[in-house]
Amino acid sequence: MAKTKIKDTPKVEVLTLNYQLSELPSSQHRAGLAGAISTIRWLERQPEFREKVANGVICRVSQLEAKGAAIEINQAGLEALFDEIYAASIEEQARPQLLKNSRTKAVIAPLREEEREETDAKGKVKQKKVYIYPVVVPGGSFLADAQYDKSSDGKNGHWIKLWRDMVWSILRGVPATRKPFEARADGNYTEDAAKVWKDLIQPETFTVDLPSTYFLGAQAFNAETVPFKDRARFQFLLHFWLFAAQIYIPAVINNEGKRDLVGYALAIPDVSDLEGFCDELPFVLSDRSPEISGYRPRDAVVDLAIESALDLLRRLRDHLTITTGEQATAYTVLGVDVIHAEKQGNNVRVLGTTRLDPDPPMVNEYSRIRNGYWSPLFRKQRLLNLVNHQPWYRGFDKLLCSLPYEQSIENDYFRRDVREAFQHEEKTMDEPTMSDEKVNDAKINELVFQFVRNYVGRKLESKYQLKWSEVKDKPDKKKEYEDKKEKIAKDAFLAVRSRTEQMDFINYFVSTLCSVPQHLKSEDYVSLTQELYKNHDRIRTLTLLALSANS
């Protein structure tokens, strides 16, 4: 009986992996190439790694250009590289309750028990028992470096903690996928590197399975039972994309007006200039603020998942502007893919995916919105309108009619932001680049604001004999003025909010807001009247906003 011939594994001492951005199948792969290069570059500056190189380890970037790179590596170098990116330590963590085995429900014995002091909301100090358990903490390689995480002591910081929490919750949310970290925390481990090396030395077309551990959103099989596969040399890069992606936390406003943090938004750069991006990434990381909001980095909290893309594009643009000395119009990325994921129970759910391409005017406007507005509620709607290329006021009617008025017309931040928005619209009318259509739109916005402001002021004067010029230097009268002003604006706000039908709103607008003298030019009256009948929804939205601004 003839024996089946088994093909021998080729013997390769040193492997050169050549990559071109154009051949890589996804943004995760292209970000992975940038992450691998950034990791190797950082390693080359570390004394421990230099010692390994002196002892025969090969792991270096032999070529780096805008459109591609070459990585030269041997098996010992691959092991050293994996030891770096999957490094982990065992640390102690206090738990308020005893842990149980998820399968057998048996109690897991802690290392020890401790009594700790805790201060409750009333300031009373209490003794509380906690249970100390060992936990595996991913290292994070260069992301833990104090040069890139300004809150870090070289090991722990706010930004590296965010990254570690994301890895443990999303990418390695299933405990069985944490073996590379856990094994290295316990001691030497090279099984994964040996397997990847064996795959890499096969012919370039050799394929392997593509699990979601490496490619976020992948499944074993699609709906047509076709398996997810990837070339081994491409899948190798997927070990590194999380070192180039930026992690954000989307916040949702609940019914009480408070922000709830929901999952993680991963902004994955679709790299178009590899060398340029790898040069910029360290500056993007180091420019992040060490300030925190709650227990998360303040700069990481966003109002929308897609805001992650805008923020990354803004940071890339800002650094280019600094280095070139002028407003940058080119980017080192084709776009940014955003994946919003959350761990729900034992499952990781992808809540949404989107992509945003570089748009300099949009990025400029985003910078103004992020830095200029204080109310998360107002800012979120402005961002939605920005990315959807809608007028700034679009959608506020639905928002103002569905939320408690305490979150809008009675909220100081919201009222302040609406005033800022109207004032900005007024300023843009004088810009020479504004089209006639946009100037006319801005003019309508200004007319409605003036109309409402004049109504509130005239009502105060006629009903309560209060004028700002007479009370601004009298604290007691000033307080009365502000209270009455808020009442007039709020009454009108609630009246407009309840009138959803076209003629109901128009009749109220004419009979109430026009019941006081309005000193407008005849052509302005005509423009406003035409817009009132042609686009009453717009005037109603602007009226609600203007009443908020003038309350």
Q: Which secondary structure element, helix H or strand E, spans residue 133, and what is its range?
A: strand 125-138
| CA 230 – CA 207 distance, rounded (Å) | 5
CB contact set of 393 (below 8 Å; sequence gap of 6+): 385, 421, 445, 538, 541, 542, 545
State the angle between helix axes of 475-498 and 502-511 in degrees (0 to 180), rounded to the nearest 10: 150
Q: What is the pLDDT of residues 187-196, one digit of tens each?
A: 888 899 999 9
CB contact set of 130 (below 8 Å; sequence gap of 6+): 94, 95, 96, 113, 114, 115, 116
The reported pLDDT for the residue numbered 1 is: 39
Other beta carbons within 10 Å of 230: 21
Q: Within the chain, which residues score under 70 in pLDDT? A: 1-10, 121, 219-226, 323-330, 429-436
The reported pLDDT for the residue numbered 211 is: 85
